[in-house]
Amino acid sequence: MRRFFARNAPAYVFLLPWLIGFFLLALGPILASLYLSFTRYDMVNVPEWVGLDNYVYMFTRDRRFWKALDVTFTYVALAVPARLIMALGVAMLLDKGLRTIGLYRAIFYLPSLLGASIAIAILWRQLFAADGVVNQIMATFGIQGASWITNPNTSLYTLVILAMWQFGSPMLIFLAGLRGIPRDLYEAAEIDGTPRWRQFTRITLPLLAPVIFFNLVLQTIDAFKTFSSAFIISNGTGAPADSLLFYTVYLFNEAFKFFRMGYASALAWVLLIIIAVFTAVAFFTSKYWVHYENERD
């Protein structure tokens, strides 16, 4: 035991800041929110235990909860594939061995760095407004544009496009994955006269599967948690007509606008479970489509 400490003490000392941060700043609030989810708590008075009331109300009576799920699932279903396809496409273009690749990588990564920022959300609102740039461009081609952001039928798609544009981080991971595929496989395929498309489906995709899987899980979790862009573009309310009522926006409103901390905590735990289920399903199904190079089948 003493030896264990003697050997590992330096490591623990270095880990200490993170450990303290985790236990004080993350674990504490996480457990507190679990407790709060069974209470009625308005941030001023003492939390009052209500058992499962919050959860029962959520599933049986709260129409906005279902609306929020609808919006969020639609977004995840559209934004994740869109972003991954975009990321893979750009990664393959950049994998051609350009000399200025470092520059391009940086340029393409830039939107992802800016993506979470308030400025981009505001910019997006301007772009897709009734008299925004998008409509002005369309007008030059004689197409009458709509007010994309304020129309409940189109507002969500503007956010999907925003998500697509922020393909930077999965793109970098794809790029690393593509670099790891042995070149001689392609050379052999060339010699055999395999068409490009078949090279892609038979070599690139299978060998990239672990990376695709990794990106898929990460991006799905990310998409479920989308907040700042939706919050800014919908003025914090999910407007117009709840078409941008992302789950996190709804949660924020319940917590900080209507002071229902207990209910908001319950919402947070349901979101956690949803994300956990999705991740678990991804991991479970992965053994059927993801193969790792060091495995033998």
- Binding string, residues 59-98; x marks residues near other proteins by CB under 8 A: --x-------------------------------------
Q: How far is the CB of 262 from other proteins (least distance, A)?
A: 12
Give yes or no for residue 235 binding other proteins (CB under 8 A). yes
Q: 47: which DSSP letter?
A: P
Stretch that binds other proteins, among 86-94, 175-183, 235-243, 284-292 (CB under 8 A): 235-243
In the beta sheet, which residues pair with residue 40? 48
Residue-wise burial string across 149-188, b where 16 or more C-beta atoms lie within 10 A, e elsewhere: bbbeeebbbbbbbbbbbbbbbbbbbbbebbeebeeeeeee
Looking only at residues 248 through 267 of this chain, which bind other proteins when binding is defined by CB under 8 A?
256-259
Report, in Å, the least distance between residue 256 CB and other proteins: 5
d(CA 224, CA 172): 21
Distance CA 220, CA 164 (A): 13
Binding other proteins (rule: CB under 8 A), the pick from 1, 13, 44, 119 is 44
Residue 139 within binding range of other proteins, rule CB under 8 A: no
* Residue with Cβ nearer other proteins (222 or 254): 254
Of 256, 261, 253, 250, the closest CA to residue 39 belongs to: 261
Residue ranges that bind other proteins, judged by CB under 8 A: 42-45, 61, 130, 147, 150-152, 235-242, 256-259
